[in-house]
Structure 1
Amino acid sequence: MKNSELLVRADRLRVDFKTRDGLAEAVRDLSFRIYRGQTVAMVGESGSGKSISARTIMKLLPGNALVSPDSRIELLGEDITGFDEARMRTIRGKRIGMIFQEPMTSLNPLYTVGQQIGEMLLEHNRGMSRQQVRARVLELLTEMQLPEPEKRIDQYPHQMSGGQRQRVMIAMAIANNPDLLIADEPTTALDVTVQAEILNLLRRLQQKHNIGVMLITHDLTIVRQYADWVYVMQHGQVVENNATEALFTAPQHAYSRHLLNSEPSGRAPALAADAPEILRGRDIRVRFQTQAASLWRRRPAQYFEAVKGLELGLRRGETLGLVGESGSGKTTLGHALLRLIDSQGEIHYDGQPLHDKDRQAMRPLRRKMQIVFQDPFSSLNPRMTVRQIIQEGMLINGIGKDAKDREQKAILALQESGLAPFALERFPHEFSGGQRQRIAIAKAIAMEPDFILLDEPTSALDLSVQNQIIKLLRQLQQKHNLSYLFISHDLRVVRALCHRVMVMRHGDLVEVGDTEQVLTQPREEYTRRLIRAAFEVAA
């Protein structure tokens, strides 16, 4: 890319954070280059400084961050290091666009997607009329290949799937034709087929507009297919950088080799032949009202059927994987089985019927049926210490004889989850993504459950931490004879953890069977398509 225009030149970046224990190094002596039309990937484990580097360019660091006066950032030859907030606002969204990891938390739930994209346009184009704004938003939604853009423009974020929300985020990021696009884990929460669609869309946009892309990701398979140059980060500094194929073919640094060898591995432990059934769902149906009835217009209520008469069984000590594209009904089915949402059909847990129980009647069973969510940063209360987070459920459910006993149980849950007791004193924001997921698992384990719903628990984690969490879940399952319902879009993780797998599409069951059999000898074309998307990208 030497003949291309240099977009970003960063030299000697150093970022520290003020903490109660003094200064913590986040980025140190970091230098990198991004050229027009080039995709530069920043890879490394959680806490390596990837996202901090991007946020330093955008000047979106928290208040306790300290940027060294020796740091220097140039955008198209202009030194922007000393720009104040007012001047940075003229750059953000105009010359630099950013796609954040989780669109559901980045998009405002109170405004339609059209209003939010339009706001981005008006911020940098004050003279645009309402008609011009709407026309440009429709043009962007069409370019994002969203179906029925005329309908989508007036929808709210919660009315869209994860892939559709991510397309809206990309539309906002490129609305003003930026020179640089920062994509911070843009496909983390997406299934493999949507992931490929989003990445191909980004590539087409890059070629069409000749923009530079800074890709931050933990998924090295994506890096190999889409990046031109790679910077490998460890503990806040670059340990190796090279052209993508050269780095993957012959990595020079031991840490680079460690990352490349961190694919999910192993298989689910053997299940006892006489293991009893702990959960059974029969003819499970879930529907959501999409439009209220209108007597005036003589229009009946309209409904969307999210789960269509599914049946499943789960044995004690077994892991059942639920896979399928966004909107297939995986999470809806999981929530229905835990009676977190209304459903029709029969649900039996450990011999007890749940389908006829109201919220009050379900409370005694809640401690035995736990859930670990995809994003622990959203599910852990930021105002509570780890001690309070873990012990909250114990207090509500009467676990532990006294405060001392609860403290010991909380410490044991942390240790079983791979964290030291000193973590009890700290808050969620003081931990990396992998550590926060361990806290979420410790919170569930402290309740002494028999069954855990794991809803995409590894999707936001880098490969090496993903492997650690898989091994941890296996160990906990064997020690406590736990049953898991594992929802995931990553078939490599499913292969490493699950005994059986159910494939879902549009609320229907497509295929079910032993994991290895389904992944190596799928009967249905849809399953084959999922497998191709997962493993061909990984090849």
Structure 2
Amino acid sequence: MNPSSSINTEADAAADPLLQVTGLSVASRDRQLVQGFNLTMNRGERVGLIGESGSGKSMTSTALMGLLPEGVNAVGTVRLAGREGNLLTASDRQMCRIRGNDMTMVFQEPLTALNPLMKVGPQVAEVMVKHKNVTGRRAAKNKAVAMLASVRLPDPAQAAQAYPHQLSGGQRQRVMLAMALANDPELLLCDEPTTALDVTVQRQVLDLILESVRQRGTGLLFITHDLSVVANVCDRVLVMNKGVVVEEGSAAEVFTRPRHAYTRGLLAASDLDASDEDGRLFTVASAAAYVPPKIKEVLAPMPAATLRAPRSQVPESHGSPGGPATGVEPVISVKNLVRTYQRGRTSLFAKPLEVQALRGISFDVQAGQRFGVVGESGSGKSTLLRILAGLDQPTSGSVRVAGNEVAGARESALVDLRRQLQIVFQDPMGSLNPRMRVQEIIAEPLLAPGQKVDSARQRRLVAQMLAAVDLPADSAGRFPHQFSGGQRQRISIARALICEPRILVADEPVSALDVSVRAQVLNLLSDLVDQYQLTLVFVSHDLGVVRHICDNVVVMNQGEIVESGATEQIYEHPQHEYTRTLVGASMSLRSELAARAAQSKGRFHANL
């Protein structure tokens, strides 16, 4: 054989696209889900597929993997370099040889993708054994530990012996990545792999994905609704809406010079640093007035004060974190709050383990404040909220809410507190009774002991609250499953406000929502807080959201408040190392575009 012909063959193979998708359409029995999807990907290329819930992006990825659910069919052509024929017409046996070997996928929720009855080390090893890429189970076991080490799991040998539920969310996602990369695939698909993660863990996982695909020359198709993540990870972007790709181009081009109205709307709703002339976040509907960031702007961003419209400020606090002005009684006062939980014994004679959820925290919240509580999973935020709402008792310390002392109070004494303080939860579907109509759900707080409201007044108040949260009047007769996620969150807000509380606690209220719906709900919350003169306690791990809506903020870490003060001061000049880590790990569209532009500028000068 002529050596030169062998070299030419390898060069031709390298020149062929890694993935060629032509005319992909996906449909169920009664609905078209994806129509006319086309994509050409080269080896080592990083492509972002962005769109909101229902846009068809996840159906596209499952069609590529041959994992469509029963009753959903795909037509078109999907070709993968090194494999003969159309993957859409390949048999299950053929696809089993391809999945996990040539192309792999990292899913959004690793706990549902991992086998709960199997230790993670054997799960990673199984992928290699199944595709016969290692010889013997001992070699597979050793390589599995090496793969867990490559994704920077602490103590990989010990982690290999853990079950999925014994690992944190970020650690489980690292296990999924180790499994996906175990056989050095040429194509990696990531479907919202960081949506449920804290900001620092999200940054670590994204950096790890980038590093891994660069080292291996792996092609990456990254599916998400988070534009800042795509700006960080991807070179090229496809925008999907209602099953159709409406725009395609380089990340810099699409994000700074969008051509399609829907793309502009997504950009506008994602940009928490921009607001309209009324000081409200842009939505897809109001995006016509939005001006996308220019390259010069992102390289030298405008000061935060000029990006955000001014908002009426509560008088500056003095004394304890978030405290009121001197002489004014706070609406929430927390003093030396401690909450310790007892865990079960590890053996018959061992002492019960103690978990210190809160370690002596103190703060005050003045009436009318927009007070932010920032922290990652395990920081103590949820424990704090339960105590503020009278759903848990402190181990020691004092908690006064709207004049009611929580510590030591009997259930009957907490009725007034729960009328004065209402909560909007993270997952509206989980907090709304699926068997109750919206009329009953919203009116439920009116049935508290001591409240007497006749049915006619109930219906009138429910109608008023539905109007306040911009839902049609006929919503009252429907069930929660008949609404979108954003609409369900509006129902939760209406329920919280119907008894006219003084304090509204929002617990991660927008973390599960698409960016455009997030902007709508944040605008609604801001409007209602002003309209009803509420005190807002807003809890989140998303620093960008807290920065937009809150005047004061406390930063929690491992049950302690590590920093507190005015929001802009905390974000612009963080003093504590943990706060600096949070701020540094948080992602915004403008900051990621600025980083991308700076990298491009650096490469340009390096090539001169």
- Give the TM-score taking structure 2 as reference length: 0.75
Q: 1:379-403 CA distances to partner (integer Å, 9 max, x unpaired)?
A: 556x547638835845864778466
Q: What residue in structure 1 maps to residue 9 of structure 2?
A: none
Q: What residue in structure 1 maps to residue 367 of structure 2?
A: 316
Q: What residue in structure 2 maps to residue 196 of structure 1?
A: 203
Q: What residue in structure 2 maps to residue 183 of structure 1?
A: 190
Q: Distance in 1 between matches of 2:413 and 2:15?
A: 66
Deviation at 1:146, TM superposition (A): 1.7
Q: What residue in structure 2 maps to residue 72 of structure 1?
A: 77
Deviation at 1:212, TM superposition (A): 1.9
Q: What residue in structure 1 maps to residue 441 of structure 2?
A: 390
Please tell me whether the aligned partners of residues 10 and 33 of structure 1 are also in contact (alpha carbons under 8 angstroms).
yes
Please tell me whether the aligned partners of residues 65 and 99 of structure 2 are also in contact (alpha carbons under 8 angstroms).
yes
Higher RCO (C-alpha 8 Å, min separation 6): 1
Q: Distance in 1 between matches of 2:88 and 2:436?
A: 36
Q: Distance in 2 between matches of 1:333 and 1:268?
A: 30
Q: What residue in structure 1 maps to residue 504 of structure 2?
A: 452
Q: 1:8 to 1:157 in 2, by over 3 A?
A: same
Q: What residue in structure 2 maps to residue 488 of structure 1?
A: 540
Q: 1:121 to 1:174 in 2, by over 3 A?
A: same
Q: 1:187 to 1:15 in 2, by over 3 A?
A: same
Decide which of 314, 319, 335 is 1:282's aligned counterpart.
335
Deviation at 1:473, TM superposition (A): 0.8
Q: Verify: 1:11 aligned to 2:39, yes or no.
A: no
Of 415-424 and 485-494, the range deviating more from structure 2? 415-424
Q: 1:125 to 1:255 in 2, by over 3 A?
A: same
Q: What residue in structure 1 maps to residue 298 of structure 2?
A: none
Q: Distance in 1 between matches of 2:489 and 2:106?
A: 23
Q: What residue in structure 2 maps to residue 334 of structure 1?
A: 385
Deviation at 1:314, TM superposition (A): 2.3
Q: 1:234 to 1:454 in 2, by over 3 A?
A: same
Q: Verify: 1:146 aligned to 2:153, yes or no.
A: yes
Counterpart residue type for residue 333 of structure 2: R
Of 276-285 and 360-369, the range deviating more from structure 2? 360-369
Q: 1:360 to 1:525 in 2, by over 3 A?
A: same
Secondary structure of residue in 2 paired with 1:31: strand
Counterpart residue type for residue 478 of structure 1: D
Please tell me whether the aligned partners of residues 402 and 420 of structure 2 are also in contact (alpha carbons under 8 angstroms).
no
Deviation at 1:110, TM superposition (A): 6.0
Secondary structure of residue in 2 paired with 1:461: coil
Decide which of 312, 328, 340 is 1:270's aligned counterpart.
312
Alignment of 1:382-421 (within 5 A): 384=435, 387=438, 390-391=441-442, 393-394=444-445, 397=448, 401=453, 406=458, 409-421=461-473
Deviation at 1:12, TM superposition (A): 2.5
Counterpart residue type for residue 334 of structure 2: G
Counterpart residue type for residue 74 of structure 1: R
Of 385-394 and 309-318, the range deviating more from structure 2? 385-394
Q: 1:486 to 1:123 in 2, by over 3 A?
A: farther
Q: What residue in structure 1 maps to residue 357 of structure 2?
A: 306
Deviation at 1:326, TM superposition (A): 4.1
Q: 1:448 to 1:118 in 2, by over 3 A?
A: farther
Deviation at 1:91, TM superposition (A): 4.4
Q: Distance in 2 between matches of 1:428 and 1:119?
A: 41
Counterpart residue type for residue 11 of structure 1: T
Q: Distance in 2 between matches of 1:205 and 1:326?
A: 26
Q: Distance in 1 between matches of 2:237 and 2:482?
A: 28
Q: 1:173 to 1:437 in 2, by over 3 A?
A: farther
Q: 1:335 to 1:226 in 2, by over 3 A?
A: same
Secondary structure of residue in 2 paired with 1:292: coil
Please tell me whether the aligned partners of residues 161 and 327 of structure 1 are also in contact (alpha carbons under 8 angstroms).
no
Q: Verify: 1:213 aligned to 2:220, yes or no.
A: yes
Please tell me whether the aligned partners of residues 372 and 454 of structure 1 are also in contact (alpha carbons under 8 angstroms).
yes
Please tell me whether the aligned partners of residues 442 and 494 of structure 2 are also in contact (alpha carbons under 8 angstroms).
no
Q: 1:519 to 1:41 in 2, by over 3 A?
A: same
Decide which of 399, 402, 407 is 1:355's aligned counterpart.
407
Aligned length: 530
Q: Distance in 2 between matches of 1:453 and 1:391?
A: 17
CA RMSD of aligned residues (A): 3.7
Q: 1:271-316 CA distances to partner (integer Å, 9 max, x unpaired)?
A: 55588533222222234456626454xx433334332211122233
Counterpart residue type for residue 203 of structure 1: L
Q: What residue in structure 2 maps to residue 55 of structure 1?
A: 62
Q: Distance in 1 between matches of 2:182 and 2:457?
A: 56
Q: 1:60-111 CA distances to partner (integer Å, 9 max, x unpaired)?
A: 4455x6446x433333353122356666555444443322333455556665
Q: What residue in structure 2 maps to residue 528 of structure 1?
A: 580
Counterpart residue type for residue 72 of structure 1: T
Decide which of 171, 196, 201 is 1:164's aligned counterpart.
171
Q: Verify: 1:509 aligned to 2:551, yes or no.
A: no
Decide which of 461, 472, 489 is 2:524's aligned counterpart.
472
Q: Distance in 1 between matches of 2:27 and 2:172?
A: 33
Q: Structure 1 regions of 5+ residues with no counterpart?
A: none
Deviation at 1:40, TM superposition (A): 0.9
Counterpart residue type for residue 469 of structure 1: V
Q: Distance in 1 between matches of 2:174 and 2:125?
A: 15
Deviation at 1:442, TM superposition (A): 3.8
Deviation at 1:138, TM superposition (A): 2.4
Counterpart residue type for residue 353 of structure 1: E
Q: 1:276 to 1:363 in 2, by over 3 A?
A: same
Q: 1:34 to 1:342 in 2, by over 3 A?
A: farther
Of 475-484 and 393-402, the range deviating more from structure 2? 393-402
Q: Distance in 2 between matches of 1:156 and 1:359?
A: 39
Q: Structure 2 regions of 5+ residues with no counterpart?
A: 1-12, 276-307, 316-324, 595-608
Deviation at 1:151, TM superposition (A): 3.4
Q: Distance in 2 between matches of 1:117 and 1:276?
A: 57
Deviation at 1:489, TM superposition (A): 2.5
* Structure of larger gyration radius: 2
Counterpart residue type for residue 312 of structure 2: A
Secondary structure of residue in 2 paired with 1:6: coil
Q: 1:423 to 1:46 in 2, by over 3 A?
A: farther
Identity %: 39
Which structure features the higher share of strand residues? 1
Alignment of 1:340-379 (within 5 A): 340-341=391-392, 343-344=394-395, 345-357=397-409, 362=414, 365-366=417-418, 368-379=420-431
Deviation at 1:502, TM superposition (A): 0.7
Deviation at 1:467, TM superposition (A): 1.8
Q: 1:43-63 CA distances to partner (integer Å, 9 max, x unpaired)?
A: 233332222322332344455
Please tell me whether the aligned partners of residues 386 and 439 of structure 1 are also in contact (alpha carbons under 8 angstroms).
no
Please tell me whether the aligned partners of residues 390 and 442 of structure 1 are also in contact (alpha carbons under 8 angstroms).
no
Q: 1:257-280 CA distances to partner (integer Å, 9 max, x unpaired)?
A: 333333124468435558853322
Q: 1:454-496 CA distances to partner (integer Å, 9 max, x unpaired)?
A: 2322233343332222101101212233333222232221111
Q: 1:228 to 1:320 in 2, by over 3 A?
A: same
Q: Distance in 1 between matches of 2:44 and 2:491?
A: 41
Q: 1:522 to 1:404 in 2, by over 3 A?
A: same
Counterpart residue type for residue 499 of structure 1: D
Q: What residue in structure 2 maps to residue 255 of structure 1?
A: 262
Q: 1:518 to 1:126 in 2, by over 3 A?
A: closer
Alignment of 1:78-97 (within 5 A): 78-83=85-90, 88-97=95-104
Q: 1:235 to 1:411 in 2, by over 3 A?
A: farther
Q: Distance in 2 between matches of 1:451 and 1:105?
A: 36
- Give the TM-score taking structure 1 as reference length: 0.84
Q: 1:429 to 1:291 in 2, by over 3 A?
A: same
Counterpart residue type for residue 468 of structure 1: Q
Q: What residue in structure 2 maps to residue 227 of structure 1?
A: 234
Alignment of 1:436-451 (within 5 A): 436-446=488-498, 448-451=500-503
